[in-house]
Amino acid sequence: MDKLLLLGDEALAQGALDAGLSGAYGYPGTPSTEIFEYVQHSKEAARRNVHRTWSANEKTAMEEALGMSYTGKRALVTMKHVGLNVAADPFMNSGITGANGGLIVAVADDPSMHSSQNEQDSRHYGRFALVPVFEPSNQQEAYNMTFDAFALSEKYKTPVIMRLVTRLSHSRAGIVRTKYLNENEIKLPDNPNQFMLLPAFARVKYKNLIEKQELLEKESENSKYNEYHDGKDRSLGIITCGLGYNYVKENHVESKCEYPILKICQYPLPRKLIQKIIDECDEILVVEDGMPVIEEWLRGYLDNCLKIKGRMDGTLPRCGELDPAKLRTALGLEPYPIKEVPTIVKGRPPELCKGCPHRDTYYALNEAMKEYGPGHVFSDIGCYTLGFLPPFNAINSCVDMGASISMAVGAADAGLFPSIAVIGDSTFGHSGMTPLLDAVNSKANIVAFILDNGIVAMTGMQDSAVTGRVEDICMGIGVEKEHIHVINPLKGHHEENVKIIKNEINYNGVSVIIPRRPCIHIAAKLRKQK
């Protein structure tokens, strides 16, 4: 077959399609978004009618994928690392119910937080839920592994995590498609109680899950993705996984690596292989792109093995993504000569686009808030988070999806006045509706701005789940109709908008203001459609 030039995200998606995928579920989040989009735009997926509509959030996506797995068909659910926090409840329990049809949870971590609030490592979740993890080290592996991940998932009736990181998700390479499997037919679980977690059943199933670990470990021992490369110089052994392996290899392009290397790309950890390298080598360097997960397990709480090096002793930086230069230092190799960045080069942070509707919303909000001073505006995850930067300096928080409304409620409860929330339409659909219900039930004195640009803009123009329904949803939740205002965030409406905002600040209760104007990136397209 032809070579395809694909992102790591896309390679995984192509693998899933070729491995008989029946449904993709997900919520956009950098760097995972392109996995789902690839399925969404695939002609093959359209022909087979593979499910490919975005879900409202990662939790519903995870549950929908679990439902498809229940029927015996193969399902893929995609999210960024922090999305797995949202989906943690169904994910943890899916470890106990197990899967029926193959179930892959594809999670893209973001070491160095290129576009995230933290750099949590999804391998922790794998261990937490006792679920196997695959961690591809290149695009071809991302493609190949989906076949093995689905097969393992069905063989052991367990969901499987596929963990990507930014530099694989968003890096392109040529991949070769290898085979093509038909989709599964519907076949309900052999055990009709498999998905029944009443305590009496759950206790039994949890024991089964623990017992299963030995078999999964054996799979890891024999996995083709866990390779032991012997080396002559046993003063050091390198345990590495995912992209870390590439950075080790990169530093030995000119000179062959003489140290033994254990490359781990399938978990639970292959205990015997680890024992072997630890026994054979004087010191061990652990190289992982993300948190020091393997390193921490190996060190143990007492950290008395004494021969392990890595992120926790400063051989590699404690946080942030790895790169070839960091590995070069850790391996004690001479650094390449480096030109410094000239001092005249200034930082160029991202900014709201020229003509962006959020700009006008912030100008109006700032004017209305002038008399109260700073410190009153809770915001959320999206392009509008850039309203924190000059010239706006308009918001004071960005924590997690939906937190703007809930934090505003808590602050209003404490007596902060005014207490303002700023959230985007898709984020509102994701996690903002339930806190608004709290606000209505406790008659919290807040003003919630739902910035409706009709799209999920930051991640690259995905459909928003609530388009055309924002005020209906607010009314359904119980916000009074006369305190829901749709405003037009444009310069010409500035005075009028400021007046509406001031009035609602002075109303003692829940107000919702919906600045509505399409994102400039879709505005032209919308005009054409008309």
Partner 1 sequence: MKKNIILAGVGGQGILSIATIIGYAVVKVDIYLKQAEAHGMSQRGGAVESHLRISDKEIHSDLVPHGRSDMIISLEPMESLRYFPYLKPDGWLITNITPFVNIPNYPEMKHLLKEIKAHKNSIAIDGDAIAKEIGSPRSMNMVILGASAPFLGIPFNMLEDSIRAVFGRKGEDIVQKNLDALNRGRDFAEEYIKK
Name the minimum Å distance from CB 167 to partner 1: 5
Q: Name residue 24's beta-bridge partners.
A: 76
Assess 425 for contact with partner 1 (CB under 8 A). Answer: no
Name the minimum Å distance from CB 264 to partner 1: 17
Q: What is the DSSP letter of 183?
A: P
Out of 355, 460, 476, 478, which residue is the one contacting partner 1 (CB under 8 A)?
460
Distance CA 236, CA 332 (A): 12
The tokens describing 229, both together, are 């490369």
Contact 35, 108 (CB under 8 A): yes
Name the minimum Å distance from CB 4 to partner 1: 8
Residues 386-415 that bind partner 1 (CB under 8 A): 386
Residues 429-458 that bind partner 1 (CB under 8 A): 458
Per-residue binding string, partner 1, 249-278, x by CB under 8 A, is xxx-x-------------------------
Name the minimum Å distance from CB 329 to partner 1: 10
Name the minimum Å distance from CB 139 to partner 1: 8
Assess 332 for contact with partner 1 (CB under 8 A). Answer: no
Assess 247 for contact with partner 1 (CB under 8 A). Answer: yes
Name the minimum Å distance from CB 385 to partner 1: 8
Choice between 96 and 261, CB closer to partner 1: 261
Assess 177 for contact with partner 1 (CB under 8 A). Answer: no
**Per CB under 8 A, which region of 171-179, 261-269, 415-423, 491-499 contacts partner 1?**
171-179
Out of 71, 93, 112, 171, which residue is the one contacting partner 1 (CB under 8 A)?
171
Name the minimum Å distance from CB 69 to partner 1: 29
Assess 246 for contact with partner 1 (CB under 8 A). Answer: yes
Given the structure tokens 């959030």, which residue do they identify?
A: 57
Choice between 31 and 95, CB closer to partner 1: 31
User: SS3 of 409, please?
Assistant: helix
Assess 308 for contact with partner 1 (CB under 8 A). Answer: no
Name the minimum Å distance from CB 93 to partner 1: 30
What lies within 8 Å, CB to CB, of 425 at 6+ separation is: 450, 451, 452, 453, 454, 464, 466, 467, 470
Assess 344 for contact with partner 1 (CB under 8 A). Answer: yes
Assess 524 for contact with partner 1 (CB under 8 A). Answer: no
Tell me which residue of 296, 274, 293, 285 sits closest to 237, measured CA to CA.
Answer: 285
What lies within 8 Å, CB to CB, of 376 at 6+ separation is: 369, 396, 416, 418, 419, 420
What lies within 8 Å, CB to CB, of 217 at 6+ separation is: 268, 269, 270, 271
Choice between 312 and 353, CB closer to partner 1: 353
Q: Tell the burial category of 461 from Cβ atoms under 10 Å away from its Cβ (0-12, 13-18, 19+).
A: middle
Name the minimum Å distance from CB 352 to partner 1: 7
**Side chain identity at residue 445, one-letter code:** N
Name the minimum Å distance from CB 335 to partner 1: 7
Query: Which letter, b or e, does each residue of 244-277 get, where b requires 16 or more Cβ atoms within 10 Å of its Cβ?
Result: bbbbbbebeeeeebebbbbbbbbbbbbeebbebb
Out of 346, 481, 528, 530, which residue is the one contacting partner 1 (CB under 8 A)?
346
**Sheet with 74-80, edge to edge strand ranges:** 21-26, 74-80, 103-109, 160-165, 133-134, 266-267
Name the minimum Å distance from CB 355 to partner 1: 12
Out of 349, 373, 415, 492, which residue is the one contacting partner 1 (CB under 8 A)?
349
Name the minimum Å distance from CB 387 to partner 1: 12
Name the minimum Å distance from CB 377 to partner 1: 20
Assess 478 for contact with partner 1 (CB under 8 A). Answer: no
Out of 190, 211, 254, 340, which residue is the one contacting partner 1 (CB under 8 A)?
340
Name the minimum Å distance from CB 165 to partner 1: 10
**Per CB under 8 A, which region of 70-78, 150-158, 348-356, 487-495 contacts partner 1?**
348-356
Out of 92, 202, 325, 440, which residue is the one contacting partner 1 (CB under 8 A)?
325
What lies within 8 Å, CB to CB, of 27 at 6+ separation is: 54, 55, 56, 57, 58, 61, 79, 83, 86, 430
What lies within 8 Å, CB to CB, of 63 at 6+ separation is: 90
Q: What is the CA radius of gyration of the chain?
A: 25
Q: What is the DSSP letter of 404?
A: H
Assess 174 for contact with partner 1 (CB under 8 A). Answer: yes
Assess 173 for contact with partner 1 (CB under 8 A). Answer: yes
Out of 11, 243, 330, 401, which residue is the one contacting partner 1 (CB under 8 A)?
243
Report the alpha-carbon angle 87-219-287, nearest 5: 70
Assess 339 for contact with partner 1 (CB under 8 A). Answer: yes
Q: Name residue 240's beta-bridge partners.
A: 263, 287
Out of 11, 12, 19, 34, which residue is the one contacting partner 1 (CB under 8 A)?
34
Out of 198, 302, 306, 345, which residue is the one contacting partner 1 (CB under 8 A)?
345
Other C-beta atoms lying within 10 Å of the C-beta of residue 354: 7
Choice between 328 and 493, CB closer to partner 1: 328
User: SS3 of 288, please?
Assistant: coil
Q: Number of residues in contact with partner 1, rule: CB under 8 A?
A: 49
Specify whether the backbone of 284 is left (phi greater than 0), alpha (psi in -120 to 50) or beta. Answer: beta
User: SS3 of 205, please?
Assistant: helix
Instruction: From residue 31, give the alpha-carbon distance in Å to each of 15, 73, 116, 134, 400.
Output: 18, 26, 9, 17, 16
Give residues in contact with partner 1 (CB under 8 A): 3, 5, 30-31, 33-34, 114-115, 167-168, 170-174, 243, 246-247, 249-251, 253, 323-325, 328, 335-342, 344-353, 383, 386, 458-460
